[in-house]
Amino acid sequence: MVKYTVHLYPVVRVTLDGIEALNKQEAIEKALDEIDTSCFESLGSNISFAEEYHDPCLVDVEGDEEHEDSTNHSHIDGLEMTTSAS
């Protein structure tokens, strides 16, 4: 039998509540600055953060229980924002 090393790339949603910003783009920028990826280190030496983000990013307005003002934002790594209603 041959031994293999397999790399799995699961998608994990990280939600950061209470980001205060003037607009949604600024909220995304602040969230990217605030995210703490060190929590992945405690899972073992075989786990590392890929430092890439799944596109698109969802932004909800707090208090908007019906999510009428929720929007998806593309290209979050380069912060070239395009938006679409969800």
Give the model confidence (pLDDT) of 76-86 as tens digits: 545 544 444 44
Q: How confident is the model at residue 33 (pLDDT cuts 50, 70, 90)?
A: confident
Q: What is the pTM of this model?
A: 0.60
Q: What is the CA radius of gyration of the chain?
A: 16
